[in-house]
Structure 1
Amino acid sequence: MMRRFFVSALIAVAALVMLPGVAGAHALLKSSVPAAGADLKEAPHQILLTFTEPPDPTLSLVTLVTSSGATVDTGKAQAVPGAPTELQLSVPQIPDGVYTVNWRTVSKTDGHVTGGSFAFGINTVASSSTSSTTMSASPSPTAPALVSRWLLFVGLALMVGGAAVRTLVRLEPSRRAVRTLLPSGLALAAVGLVGSYAAEAHAIGASLSALAKTSTARPDEFLGAAIVVLAVIVAALARRDARGLWLALGAAGILAMLIHALGSHADNPSRWRWFNLGVEWAHLVGVGIWIGGLVWLFVAIRGGADDDPTRREGIVRFSKMAAVVLVVVAASGIGRALSELNGLHSLWSTSFGKTLLVKGALFGVLLTFGALNHYWLVPRIRAEGTGTGALARSVRVEMAVAAATIFAGVLLSQLPPASYASTPLAPSQSAIVVTGSDFGTTVRLQLQISPGVLGSNTFDAQVVDYDTGAPVSVRSLVLNFTLPSNPDIGGSSLSLKRSGSDWKGTGTNLSLTGTWSISAVVQERTSAVSIPLRVTPKLPPEQISTIAGNPTLYTITLGGGLTVQTYVDPDTAGVANVHFTFFQSSGKEQPIASASATQTDPAGTTSGMKLIRFDPGHFAANTRLTSGTWT
């Protein structure tokens, strides 16, 4: 019997896993026009973003930012007719330079918030052989959101499991159990739904009323209607026990789980959409019958007499039902999980994969207890009429492990898969060089950035042992970029490729002025380390204008058509005034909210300058110059 059971389970799992899976999990950026890292010959008229799941246009935000940090006036991103996974942003006439596209959206499919950024240039390099990647990020799941989703599913499972035990197993629970467990399940589901809705509104940054007006809220609204129907049935069952009411409870609970599946990753548009929805639905119903049924079984057998033949037969029928449901749960769960993995390496390199391993381990514990009950305790109860107490103790442990397993499943539903990136190589040029080491001082990394300016750069990394300086065996190297001075700009990443003993790649990740934080993630054979670096891209070389009898004028292009002109008056040793004036591409003065300046004397000492505002875009500072070169 045991061999037939596990062979059947293996065949079902293998058949499902061999079917094609679909990419899912959150509205991540799949592609864009212009592409990340592209260098265009002329300015685009629009920006097109394609996501892995349909974004909600009313809750999405796309902005275009110049290298100086100014936001381009583009209007609001719009949906693309006939293309539910795309958003388009109209772009006015913009000058040459490096631009960052910052985006944030909410998936229509699962309501999850994602965001990120990527950069492109217009006539910034001699050839357009560079590329970069975006880093799509989803906020970490919050405790209220996770607990609410857990409560919602546990509540539905209690009602569906109770209906299965009463109608399929034909174990008749006491009236006290009915009047306690069913209202408890209903309350858990209702509280979980309200909590999930509030947590989603908080994550999106919208009010409850604003969220209610979007399509993202539809699954929760339908689920609320289903819970109202369940409440009516539970109230009727509290007054009288009728098989028809139990069947109605089970049907309404299964329908609620279908609505729950419609708000999951399985509803992502694809040719396999309905198949994936069916698999997800079967998984939810199977878990509900199995785990929810365990609670009702425990209540029915706890403290009862071993010689009750009706209860013994009910235990046997539950064991047979659980064996069938277990196959469905295992097959559907593994199939859905594998369809969201990005290769086996994702199991240990991503939060999704690590959580999946934890859930698998917990499921293994449940499987062990299930086998113990099915092949030892239940036959003993059936043949000898003894062992009910041992079964109750086993089920109690199963319920605890099951609660943790459901929580791991809820966490999985809130996590996105690994990001993807690809990077070509480019020739080396003059560079900025920065070095750093991991916290444990095991490896040292030297990163050369050529030419080290805003826009397209080549990144060349060398990794050596911290103590000996010998090359270190590295499997992969990824650079993650953030701009601490501007947290509204999403992070980006760049995967380097092996080139001899170095790791190289090209990208436009340094797209804005300021000091960037770079986290170099070095994956060795058995471990990974993170190396923090800080880089300030060089400004383009200044244009120097000299007119007899006037101070020397220095003009620096900031990007986005903005320039800053500076001069020293007089430009001789002694007391002098340093002037800074910002201009638009039209030649008009550009208003500046705030500015700061530093000076470096011939000895290399850097100090701050106290700026005085003359006009909205004109600042000046007093200083005392000595002979030599000042910066």
Structure 2
Amino acid sequence: MKLSRIFLTITLTIFLLAAAVGEALAHAVPVTSVPTANTIVETAPEELRIQFNEPVVPELSRIDLLTQAGQRIEVGALAPGNAENSSLILPLPPLDNGTYLVSWQVLSAVDGHTTTGTYSFGIGVASLAGVVGNTQTAAQIDPLSATARWLSLTAIVLLLGLFSFRPVLWLPARPAGDLPENYASVDQKIYNAGLVIAWLAVSLMIVAGMLTLTDQVTTYQLFTGNNLIAWLSTRFGWMWLGRLIVTFILAAILGRIRAFPAGARDPLWWAGLALTLLLAVTASLISHSAALLRDSLNATLTDLVHLLAAGIWGGGLVQLALAAWYTRELAPATRTTINLKLIVQFSLLAGLSVGLLLASGSYLASIHVATWTALFGTTYGRIL
């Protein structure tokens, strides 16, 4: 009972952090703009330029210009301002003196998140009266997108625990010499239970992919014009497609595992672990760490280490529980020997994983919650 309470507490803490993380982490936000946000210029600009902190998708982004009265002004076609697509340019018609409101919405090419915001500028006026006086930026976290992310992370954790536990812990814990009479039966039950978890994880990955696609289709009308091609050309689109392909290959491997005798399954088992590592890589490549302006490579690698450590620890706990349950059918002496080996070896592996979790988590927190204001002024920071 005590162990289950600890596990429940850890799970709830993780989900609380997950719910709050979007408030503190990076999204596509403006770094500079021309004209500068919330300033007054003497002459009317010919174009409006916004530089973002990460690449965006011009075809699926927009910038609107409104008058002080809220009337939308007809402008030119939105275009990328550089090869990285981190800058957008909006051609402007001749503008009269007055105050104007810029309303923008962009899709990040890295993590697939939508960010919106507003700011104002004036032309030949004494003050910016009657419009928004401060820059406002907000990230739109759709429930479908958030659900898809956590379904996929849960699936990766389950798969990492499954494919690492058996070859690294269970098989080395097998009794030496002649095996007990019912050992093969217990081994097969644990194996079958593991496959059920694997199929559950694959199902979660497929559902997550469909939820992501549904969210993006609804938001950006992907089946209109060239929107789908534009979306698939982004890193987020590539990772979505790659993840779906890897998931179906993994499903095919799981379908073949039962067709081979026990001794011939090991190559397929290691192939499953390799594919799960690929799934983890796709998750890190579209994480907030991958979208950082500085040290994005180090942050992305740290994010990957964080995810792998969580998977080996959390997913391994699930497999350890299965092993403890089914080994009850063995003789007491055999059961004690196997469980003792499993607990000792898993404790070493879990200790290493928790150490990596703490180290990588501290590093990522220092990047994403880098100031005292962010630490005490955001939900994510306060939970930390």
Aligning the two structures, in what range does the TM-score lie when normalised by the shorter sequence? 0.7 to 0.9
Which amino acid is 2:257 matched to? Answer: L
Instruction: Work out whether 1:352 is the aligned partner of 2:375.
Output: no
Question: Aligned match of 1:245 in 268, 271, 282?
Answer: 268
Structure 2 residue matching 1:346: 3-state secondary structure: helix
Which amino acid is 1:316 matched to? Answer: V
Asked if structure 2 preserves the Cα contact closer than 8 Å seen for 1:62 and 1:89, the reply is yes
Change (3 A) 1:66 1:104: same
Instruction: Work out whether 1:206 is the aligned partner of 2:221.
Output: yes
Asked if structure 1 preserves the Cα contact closer than 8 Å seen for 2:156 and 2:276, the reply is yes
CA distance in 1, matches of 2:137, 2:292: 19
Instruction: Work out whether 1:300 is the aligned partner of 2:320.
Output: no
Percent identical residues = 26
Instruction: Work out whether 1:232 is the aligned partner of 2:252.
Output: yes
**TM-score under structure 2 length normalisation:** 0.79
CA distance in 1, matches of 2:30, 2:46: 20
CA distance in 1, matches of 2:41, 2:303: 44
Structure 1 residues 414-493: aligned runs within 5 Å: none
Structure 1 residues 98-113: aligned runs within 5 Å: 98-113=99-114
Residue aligning to 2:167: 167
Instruction: Work out whether 1:315 is the aligned partner of 2:343.
Output: yes
Which amino acid is 1:198 matched to? Answer: T
Change (3 A) 1:145 1:160: same
Change (3 A) 1:157 1:198: same
Structure 1 residues 188-207: aligned runs within 5 Å: 188-202=204-218, 204-207=219-222
Structure 1 residues 360-375: aligned runs within 5 Å: 360=384
Asked if structure 2 preserves the Cα contact closer than 8 Å seen for 1:190 and 1:227, the reply is yes
Asked if structure 2 preserves the Cα contact closer than 8 Å seen for 1:24 and 1:53, the reply is no
CA distance in 2, matches of 1:159, 1:135: 41
* Deviation at residue 155 of structure 1 after TM alignment: 1.3
Change (3 A) 1:25 1:320: same
Instruction: Work out whether 1:178 is the aligned partner of 2:194.
Output: yes
Cα deviation digits, residues 434-481 of structure 1 (max 9, x gap): xxxxxxxxxxxxxxxxxxxxxxxxxxxxxxxxxxxxxxxxxxxxxxxx
* Deviation at residue 103 of structure 1 after TM alignment: 0.3
Asked if structure 1 preserves the Cα contact closer than 8 Å seen for 2:27 and 2:291, the reply is no
Asked if structure 1 preserves the Cα contact closer than 8 Å seen for 2:54 and 2:293, the reply is no
Of 207-216 and 232-241, deviating more is 207-216
CA distance in 1, matches of 2:127, 2:324: 78
Residue aligning to 1:144: 144
Change (3 A) 1:208 1:120: same
Q: CA RMSD in A?
A: 2.3
Change (3 A) 1:208 1:258: farther
Change (3 A) 1:345 1:24: closer
* Deviation at residue 303 of structure 1 after TM alignment: 4.9
Residue aligning to 2:8: none
* Deviation at residue 347 of structure 1 after TM alignment: 3.0
Asked if structure 1 preserves the Cα contact closer than 8 Å seen for 2:156 and 2:201, the reply is yes
Change (3 A) 1:24 1:78: farther
CA distance in 1, matches of 2:138, 2:294: 26
Change (3 A) 1:126 1:109: closer
Asked if structure 2 preserves the Cα contact closer than 8 Å seen for 1:152 and 1:188, the reply is yes
Structure 1 residue matching 2:28: 3-state secondary structure: coil
Asked if structure 1 preserves the Cα contact closer than 8 Å seen for 2:61 and 2:107, the reply is yes
Question: Aligned match of 2:241 in 214, 218, 221?
Answer: 221
Residue aligning to 1:124: 125
Which amino acid is 2:152 matched to? Answer: L
Residue aligning to 1:581: none
* Deviation at residue 330 of structure 1 after TM alignment: 1.4
Which amino acid is 2:197 matched to? Answer: L
Instruction: Work out whether 1:256 is the aligned partner of 2:259.
Output: no
Asked if structure 2 preserves the Cα contact closer than 8 Å seen for 1:160 and 1:289, the reply is yes
The list of structure 1 runs, each at least 4 consecutive aligned residues, that deviate by more than 4 angstroms after superposition, is: none
* Deviation at residue 239 of structure 1 after TM alignment: 3.0
Residue aligning to 2:306: 283
Asked if structure 2 preserves the Cα contact closer than 8 Å seen for 1:24 and 1:268, the reply is no
CA distance in 1, matches of 2:83, 2:355: 40
Residue aligning to 2:6: none
CA distance in 2, matches of 1:126, 1:290: 58
Structure 1 residue matching 2:120: 3-state secondary structure: strand
Asked if structure 2 preserves the Cα contact closer than 8 Å seen for 1:96 and 1:123, the reply is yes
CA distance in 1, matches of 2:207, 2:229: 18
Higher percent of residues as strand? 1
**TM-score under structure 1 length normalisation:** 0.49
Asked if structure 1 preserves the Cα contact closer than 8 Å seen for 2:59 and 2:230, the reply is no
Residue aligning to 1:88: 89
Asked if structure 1 preserves the Cα contact closer than 8 Å seen for 2:111 and 2:286, the reply is yes
* Structure with the greater alpha carbon radius of gyration: 1
Cα deviation digits, residues 343-397 of structure 1 (max 9, x gap): 123233223324xx1xx5xxxxxxxxxxxxxxxxxxxxxxxxxxxxxxxxxxxxx
CA distance in 1, matches of 2:145, 2:25: 20
CA distance in 2, matches of 1:119, 1:287: 44
* Deviation at residue 184 of structure 1 after TM alignment: 1.2
Of 80-89 and 42-51, deviating more is 80-89
Q: How many residues align?
A: 329
* Deviation at residue 260 of structure 1 after TM alignment: 1.1
* Deviation at residue 126 of structure 1 after TM alignment: 8.0
Change (3 A) 1:272 1:342: closer
Which amino acid is 1:285 matched to? Answer: L
Higher percent of residues as helix? 2
Which amino acid is 2:162 matched to? Answer: G
CA distance in 1, matches of 2:306, 2:65: 42
Asked if structure 2 preserves the Cα contact closer than 8 Å seen for 1:36 and 1:132, the reply is no
Asked if structure 2 preserves the Cα contact closer than 8 Å seen for 1:226 and 1:256, the reply is yes
Cα deviation digits, residues 534-590 of structure 1 (max 9, x gap): xxxxxxxxxxxxxxxxxxxxxxxxxxxxxxxxxxxxxxxxxxxxxxxxxxxxxxxxx
Residue aligning to 1:335: 363
Asked if structure 1 preserves the Cα contact closer than 8 Å seen for 2:37 and 2:135, the reply is yes
Asked if structure 2 preserves the Cα contact closer than 8 Å seen for 1:62 and 1:102, the reply is yes
Asked if structure 1 preserves the Cα contact closer than 8 Å seen for 2:38 and 2:135, the reply is no
Change (3 A) 1:126 1:59: closer
Residue aligning to 1:49: 50
* Deviation at residue 257 of structure 1 after TM alignment: 0.7
* Deviation at residue 149 of structure 1 after TM alignment: 1.8
